[in-house]
Amino acid sequence: MFKDSRIFVAGHSGLLGSAMLKELGKAGYSNLIYVSHRHLDLTDKSAVFDYFSQNLPEYVFLAAGKVGGIADNKAYPASYLHVNLAIQDNVFEAACKFEVKNVVFYASSCTYPRNCPQPMKEEHLLTGPIEPTSQGYAAAKIAGLFACRSYNDQYDNRRFIALLPNTIYGPYDNFDLSSSHVLPALIRRFYQACLSDDKQVTLWGTGDVRREFVFSEDVARASIFAVENVDMLENCHYNVGCSADHSIKELAEKIAVITGYRGSIVWDTTKQDGAPRKMLDCTRFQGLGWMPEMNFDNALKLTYDWFVQNYSEIINR
């Protein structure tokens, strides 16, 4: 990419999209294109084609999509499947028609088998059943991974870059208790418990499952690195993580300390845990020269501070 290349960040106001704008700006890229969902519905093919024909982006970071936690994925699997498939298909087709140079697509660790060997390697994809609570979302992301390979094969290029980050967190995350991932949900639960002076917080599951969390700005930097070094990439997907994980109990205890919560934590073991562990083997991508930069505790505090500063807006959405 040149510093004045036309770069479209889809989903610019969300968790990853906002980090993309920040990191692209820091790297000196000045011609950034973005539009709100209100003015462009990426599930609408004709609207997507019109937008691409008018703006002619040279590079696309596809950070838009429908994302949520266990409860929401379990309740609305068809919605997660349909919305993500539609967005991917429309953007991929427009990218080909209007000769976009590179599109960065983001998959998810839930595409790997539920009982996958740990840490999970790229070649473990489709070697076993996936987690039932995220089947709709995972199916869409698996389709996206194969779409990247298929388009690259058919058109004999490396237009589509497939990155598979583990659970992303950071500023501009979704903190809605019914649809968020575990980390932002815990931040909100403990913060509100402090506001209400609650003596007990009840959390789902055993707390024993382990999860890897990667900071949004690290994923953004990985994305820029991938495009800037596209000639080194193979036609495959690359895991992007931080090579460390935490049990949900450990995460809850860290967030309790950050928020100042001093009450008890109770685990409701009648609720589902999800996959027992989800840690990525990032050897392949890190071998190209990228490494995560953020310390987990520092990034967690940054995320909490952003949440507190924006709390009134978050609860009124």
- Distance between CA 202 and CA 219 in Å, rounded? 31
Spatial separation of the C-alpha atoms in residues 4 and 186, rounded to whole Å:
40
Catalytically annotated residue among 112, 137, 238, 304:
137
Asked if 137 is an active-site residue, the reply is: yes
> What type of residue is 211?
R
Total residue count of the chain as it appears in this document:
317
- Collect contacts of 117-125 with beta carbons under 8 A, ≥24 apart: 118/277, 118/279, 119/243, 119/279, 119/280, 119/281, 120/239, 120/278, 120/279, 120/280, 120/281, 121/239, 121/281, 121/283, 121/284, 122/164, 122/236, 122/237, 122/238, 122/239, 122/281, 122/284, 125/237
Gap between the Cα atoms of 151 and 117, Å rounded: 29
Of 4, 181, 5, 2, which is closest to residue 108 (Cα–Cα)? 181
Instruction: Pull the structure tokens for residue 104.
Output: 């960065």
Active site amino acids: 137
